[in-house]
A and B are shown apart, each in its own frame.
Chain A
């Protein structure tokens, strides 16, 4: 071969050596998604309505005809100068030159897809996040607009491109703008002679947001109930809209903190979705908002979080595409493992469509998929998912927030005990982002049922973790055969060493395993490499009633029990290691086990008299799990259709 032929080959070989091999977790979707147990119509399929479109706005837009000459409804710009500011005068000048206005005259522009029908129809706003301000992001949700309008929703994609570009700390303005749009919609609905006169169901409002917009929907929901702007009370709020549903798509969290506190949220249905291979928001930061949502008014709210393996940041918006950090980001982002945009959007249509159907139209037949994605195997693209779920009926026995005593639960009188555990400690759950965490604690439990010594086949009694349920709890929570045990759990790949004889795990024994420590302190995780476990995991959930009747069920019957999914978003392994704390995100899977199922396998068991909930680590001899939000729920039976009947 000539030298000319060798040189390109050498370059390719050198580049290949520097680019890390494509590393993906083994796909189990052929098993996990093997069944379709929900009989409802596919929410990703077009509905019966003919779809109409229009735009509303200032009518003076400098860049886009759609918001200049073509607006069907004119709106008045709003003064957002108390909520947003350009980072410097130069940027202010550039922005004003491009848009023709500053933050004191922000236009209320939107693209609308709506059903051709009498209505009234639920109203959904969707808002984009940060992107190149010159590449307008609002048309990128047309696929959702077409779908939802055909199914009887009005969808408005909100123009907030003027808040894009080089700007920070503006997410309060993004949220506030959504409420300004709702004000405009109230006007469209109340005024005579508009295409929406009396056609908008202002009692059924949903907000959806992507990226920074994903945080903005939470900000909007919080502002919606406040009398004043928290950071400047000279700005009065008078919203009070009936916002019932929030969808956060790959959101950030904490860019805006009202009064320097994480945005509090309560009494609203919340769905957050996030891709594992998000090249922009590379950690599931929406889980922080998920954790903060509280249900306090007794209404049937719920929250669900779905982690989508191999989905990225931009493909939720057709304008953004697969380059999560701009057109040149393919130089460093590894795009090989990504889902296709079609598949990613298909997932979005299924989950967002079902969520809006369930929360704004009361179609309860869709509720099970927010608890367990396995029930819709035929609707979902073939990849892996992790689902977090909690409903308003949930009461925590142990959520690891209340104190630093590992033997006490979250309710007075609830006791916790560990038996033969190698690892038992409570700690904050770390994020994949360096030096970041999810803002909530969980318990790490590690075990090795093998006994130390020459005989490696010798096993001790299975390790266990036990939570007591007191009489007062059972009474106060009205525990019955209709109640369910709920918890969230994620196995890790750490393997504690063989059990020492006479080991006493009733005390905190975290020091026994350097490997498991690695999962908590991400900086040391490499130490765990030598002992990483890849054997499929399972364990037994055991309940005991007041008469000492014991019933057991395998956890895997109620959801996939998977170790963290391998995530490499960058082409270079050294950059991946430098930029992230780990090559996976710890996302706990929620499990809901009806107490009636225990009674079914052990007929003498009395669910109303449950005294003990025990995690028995008897199906996998060695392992470590992270466990959180253990409790009992008086779950709406609509969530439980097909529960437990899906195979692993």
Chain B
């Protein structure tokens, strides 16, 4: 526990370095749709949203190569402000030497005249009038110990005035090394999204990361995850997190998580945190983040293995 405290203090100390530069404070966003720029997993959010090498049912949102590694079905919901709510559903199962998965992300948020919508729009108190949606289907396979996967998805952005949709593709590879997984994904490959007469690029990003777990420290098992993303504009976003798991009895799981990430907007906290309680096949998840304008968001999730 003392080690965990040290880690939290360390993350707090480096947090200012992860804060956005003044140049990042743009009024409108850079990319669309908005939903593809938000954390898609409750567990991942608690660890800085660094999940490219993750092993869970929701990896379809991060790296299709990991499909079939973590099996199950899960849902999550995150309330940003009274006007913005994100919901996700995902599932992954084994298929041959790989896996198959599906995922849906749906975001309702306050109306904005800006396109692409900025993440700050999530802090709006307005009732939901815009939406952002993504529906994905992915498969993976294993060749010579290397997993490779592809996800096809349809993304859509809606404003009160217009609606625009587009297909996109994610690619990923992963390999297990030294008690963990090293993974690379290239996400949101596709043409620009058009909404009315305005066009915006998809949030294309390349992410490299490592995740490992099961490191015993006393009665606790420690896991870590890390990722570095390079965005279309060359911006580099590092992120990482730690997970401490205590299993008092076979089938029971209590986990605490802490993470850090480079933020996009002022007022957003680089720190995230989360927890989960597992009872046999059911796990209840919670995560916390502070989004734009200092608004605090809570995310709840449930998954069944």
What residues make up the interface of A, taking CB atoms closer than 8 Å to B? 11, 15, 18-19, 90, 327-328, 331-332, 570-572, 575
Contacts and interface: CB of A to CB of B under 8 A. Distances in A.
Nearest to A89: B145
Contact of A15 (B216, B221, B249): B249
Contact of B216 (A18, A90, A327, A571): A327
Contacts of B250: 331-332, 570-572, 575
A571 B252 CA distance: 12
A575 B145 CA distance: 33
B248 interface: yes
A249 B221 CA distance: 32
Closest 4 CB pairs of A and B: A332-B250, A331-B250, A331-B247, A15-B248
Contacts of B145: 90
A491 B152 CA distance: 64
Interface residues of B, number: 9
Contacts of B251: 18, 332, 572, 575
A328 B218 CA distance: 10
Contact of A18 (B221, B247, B249): B249
Secondary structure at the B interface, as helix, strand, loop or mixed, is loop
A19 B249 contact: yes
Contacts of A19: 249
Contacts of A90: 145
26 contacts: A11-B248, A15-B248, A15-B249, A15-B252, A18-B249, A18-B252, A19-B249, A327-B216, A328-B216, A328-B221, A328-B247, A331-B247, A331-B248, A331-B249, A331-B250, A332-B249, A332-B250, A332-B251, A570-B250, A571-B249, A571-B250, A572-B249, A572-B250, A572-B251, A575-B250, A575-B251
Nearest to B251: A572
Nearest to A570: B250
Contacts of B248: 11, 15, 331
A11 B145 CA distance: 42
Nearest to B248: A15
B240 to A, nearest CB: 25
A331 B249 CA distance: 5
Contacts of A331: 247-250
Contacts of B221: 328
Interface string B229-264: 000000000000000000111111000000000000
A15 B216 CA distance: 22
Nearest to A332: B250
Contacts of B252: 15, 18
A325 to B, nearest CB: 11
- In this complex, which of A11, A328, A331, A571 has the most chain B Cβ atoms within 10 angstroms of its Cβ? A331
A571 B247 CA distance: 13
- In this complex, which of B247, B248, B249 has the most chain A Cβ atoms within 10 angstroms of its Cβ? B249
A90 B250 CA distance: 30
Given A15-B249, A18-B249, 7 more contacts: A18-B251, A331-B247, A331-B249, A331-B250, A332-B250, A332-B251, A572-B249
A87 to B, nearest CB: 13
Contacts of A571: 249-250
Nearest to B246: A331
A332 B250 CA distance: 5
A327 B218 CA distance: 11
B46 to A, nearest CB: 21
A145 to B, nearest CB: 31
Contacts of A572: 249-251
A328 B249 CA distance: 10
Contacts of B216: 327-328
Nearest to B254: A11
A493 B248 CA distance: 34
A512 B251 CA distance: 41
A296 to B, nearest CB: 47
A327 B252 CA distance: 17
A19 B216 CA distance: 23
Contacts of A18: 249, 251-252
A19 B252 CA distance: 11
A373 to B, nearest CB: 34
- In this complex, which of B216, B247, B250 has the most chain A Cβ atoms within 10 angstroms of its Cβ? B250
A459 to B, nearest CB: 49
Contacts of B249: 15, 18-19, 331-332, 571-572
A545 to B, nearest CB: 59
Contacts of A570: 250
A282 to B, nearest CB: 15
A575 B280 CA distance: 11
A97 to B, nearest CB: 12
A15 B248 CA distance: 8
Interface in B124-143: none
A327 B247 CA distance: 13
A6 B247 CA distance: 20
A331 B145 CA distance: 31
A19 B251 CA distance: 11
B267 to A, nearest CB: 32
Nearest to B214: A328
Contacts of A332: 249-251
Nearest to B144: A89
A328 B221 CA distance: 10
A570 B250 CA distance: 9
Nearest to A572: B250
A7 to B, nearest CB: 12
A90 B146 CA distance: 11
Interface string B191-233: 0000000000000000000000000100001000000000000
Nearest to A18: B249
A570 to B, nearest CB: 7
A428 to B, nearest CB: 31
B295 to A, nearest CB: 28
A572 B249 CA distance: 8
A337 B250 CA distance: 18
A27 to B, nearest CB: 27
A461 to B, nearest CB: 52
A21 B216 CA distance: 28
A18 B247 CA distance: 13
A626 to B, nearest CB: 32
Contacts of A11: 248
A528 B10 CA distance: 61
B182 to A, nearest CB: 14
- In this complex, which of A11, A18, A90 has the most chain B Cβ atoms within 10 angstroms of its Cβ? A18
A481 to B, nearest CB: 58
A30 B252 CA distance: 39
A90 B142 CA distance: 13
Nearest to B176: A90
Nearest to A88: B145
Contacts of A327: 216
B228 to A, nearest CB: 27
Nearest to A93: B145
B110 to A, nearest CB: 36
Interface in B109-159: 145
Contacts of A15: 248-249, 252
